[in-house]
Chains A and B, each alone.
Chain A
Amino acid sequence: MTDQAIMPVPTEALDTQGAIDWLKDKYPEAVQDDTRQGYGGVVVDRSQLTKIAHAIRDDLGYDYLSSATAVDYLGISDHIEMVYHAYRTAGGPPLVFKAQTPRENAEIPSVVSVWPGADFQEREAYDLFGIQFSGHPNLKRILLWEGFDGHPMRKDWQEAYYEEEHKPFESRWPKGWVRRAEELNVFGKNVRYPADLDLSRLTDVSEDSLYKGMGLGVDVQEIVQEGEHIKTDRLIVNMGPHHPSTHGVFRMIAELDGETIEALEPVMGYLHRNHEKIGERNAWLMNIPFTDRLDYISSMGNNMGYVQAVEKLLAQGARYTPPTYRAEVIRVLMVELTRIVNHLWAIGFLLNDLGAFFTPALYAIAEREKVLDFFEATAGSRMMCNYMRFQGVAKDLPERIHSTAVTVNDKVRDYNTMEFLTELINERLPRSIDELDHFLTESEIIKTRAMGVGILPPEMAIAYSAAGPLLRASNVPYDVRRAEPYSIYPELDFDVCVRPNGDVYDRYLIRLDEMRESVRILKQVLQRLEATHGEDIFSGNKAIYMPRVPVGESYGRVENPKGELGFYCVSEGDPKGPQNPWRYHVRAPSFINLTPLGVMCKGHKVADVVVILGSIDIVLGETDR
């Protein structure tokens, strides 16, 4: 034991404060504490960012970059700042570091060489904030198209149909100037193009830049490679955006050598609606129903992530009371049911992608239907649940799942809620998961198509910031519910599922495993639901519709079915002024999980691309935001 005392403390063992001190000690000029009220972490001098990022990853062991995003502080300190949240895959709180740049000619060194997972996130920041990332291998717009004028997340950018900075809009009450948006703003008036854009060559320009980004920049017709046995042509194939296998409007550009994928790049943004800008116009509460529209398969999970991020901010204020125990129990109930719903959906549609058209998908979503019946009776909607609130949930579970006949031919159902839930969780769901297992797992066709396809090695999964089932199927036992526990998860008994191979088959299996774990959690939740029957589901005054959120930043993350969903929120509201987020960023797992898609597809066939994409399980509502 005495030997240990004289050994240098391994830096990986340092806690967050220790890590910050270590950094400040090693780079006294470049690293400063972030002393702003309500902020944490360190501010790093941008000229030394890459070096310090290397130290953070290698010396301090923060190997997993969860989120990298920008904030525009126009009118406050007039700079743009990149915020990075790095975690250890062993678990624990984040190391938050920031790099600041002036708004004019904004430039920050890229950290892609340290964490390749920053690739898409930096491109997003470039796209939406106009920050140049020096050293980024492929810096171009990602969500918007090449001909877009300006960088919309900058505070001085105004959207088409712009009305006011913040909701609620003045025109709604008490004068009620009703109109449809297009009556004021006839189509066409709001479209602006950059000055140097040649409109006549619009398509050419945008396509060229896409192909150049793949390291091609070549005339496809000219390349004819002499293969060993067969003469194969190189060609570029566009899959999507309107292709049924892409689960939405999503496009992949694949460069093929014969039938083999040489390079592949995802192209997205076809469903982009600048969710984050809308979020900044909204008041805090208004964002909850908007989060439903991100990953619309698992809206309860999205609610949970956002609500937790804002509760972290609210907790810095005086009037905050944490959600009641029953509220937390109900939240976990909803979130775990959502996980089952999502995985049923994911497995069903993975099988669709494999060519087993709709039988497995329909068997899977038939079970989903039962859960949605419960959601509808409790929250009022099947998919757009909008169920969680700051400091609680919207409503308690109803005594009965009871419907009323309104329209012609309506047929009524009436069940006792707790009996329904008990039967669902104890019998129906486990039975159907087993049936799905029986139905698919042993199938030779699935095994042949899925085993050894789209392999993502563990170190690569971590480097690319993969999250959720994608990460855990690659033998990395990282689950936010255990790594940085929230809600009542610490007291629940469940295992973090992990699978060793990192191929499509393992990603299928891990979803089955996770559903079984969810059922295990739900059984424990049922007991707690019964024990807390009749208790409050909300702490504080539920009638407050414009909560005052203290100044500061917060990053709330939850283990959503698709991976780690994070919300980075900044509040700058003055107590008397409008109450809306200054910054509202979504760390979307569907988006970031696509970063390693190209790597996973390399060397496979076109038909495998569809399966690999299906095994990542994306929802375009969240990818494009």
Chain B
Amino acid sequence: MKAAQVIMATGANAAALAVKSARVDVVPGYPITPQTSIMEAMAAMVENGEMNARFIPVEGEHSAMAAAVAASAAGARVFTATSANGLLYMHEVLHMASGGRLPVVMVNVNRGIFAPWTLWADHQDSFAQRDTGWIQYHCSSNQEVFNTILQAFRVAEQTNIPVMVNFDGFAISHCLMPLTLPPQEDIDRFLPPHEPEWRLDPANPSSFSNVTMAAEYAQFRQMLSDDIIASIPLVKQAAQEYKDITGMWDGDTIDTYRLEDAEVVAFAVNSMAAELKLSIDILREQGIKAGLLRPRLYLPFPAEDIISALPQNAQVMVLDRNYNYGHPGGILASELKSVLFGRRNDITVKNRVMGIGGIDLTRRFMAAEIRAMMDE
């Protein structure tokens, strides 16, 4: 048996290496900061023969997702990546991927949305795609990015639902961290070749995404809604089997830290959640029983796992790196309240928006914020 290899890699490299290990067939790509280096790596690996795949240098993100959707319908395993306005530009085609039940996997490197311009991370872009029918992971380390992309392909191909893997621009995409690469045969064991039930096939002429009558359309929509919720056990199974094969674990639908006896629970996603583990340690040193609950899965929102994980009478401090316009706070807080209502009336939810447009979120700053929220 071959041993795992440890290298230094940025989050973008980690993503590219995961896509290579997944033996992807087609990668349509278009550059946008901070995602660009993923597409550069894809182009280079295809060109130098490291990856047996086709790289399609399209002219925009709308076309990137269109080419991805079409290649998937033709039976290929497909990957693309984007950020911010690129993701928004894809919006229409995201619906075609999910409505068409095509298992495309995409990385979105989170970045604040224009206007005005910013290059740095917040989570408005991915959360704004909430209602497109995609499964969404949010990752807090380079290793998790690598691991999650492989899990994403498995879940996507089992459910015929596209999966978006999100992580922060720069804090993850451009920072070097040690990265463990499992042996390729282990990855092949975890992720078998893509064998779609259906594809565009001249031997079996049928229509795809053609006109439907209302009753049939409604049925397609209902199935998508049901199947997204039903993907939760498959997400858990993918995380567990990945752990069994590689020994690595990032949580399944949620990830927790010092949560069991916590009275104050920080609730956040992405890189700030990794930093929050250090804030929790600071708060613990100050005698505050603090813990962390990080939804690794944003969609489907892991309601049951959150409800059962939160300690009795906890104060949950939701730290949102986005705005829920029209409401006084962020989107995660709104999602959390919607699942707790009537189920966990013992829980108090407090909310602050922070880190917008990449404002640095240090452990001390977030520890102080949580302390201040306790007094509200």
Q: Do A and B bind each other?
A: no
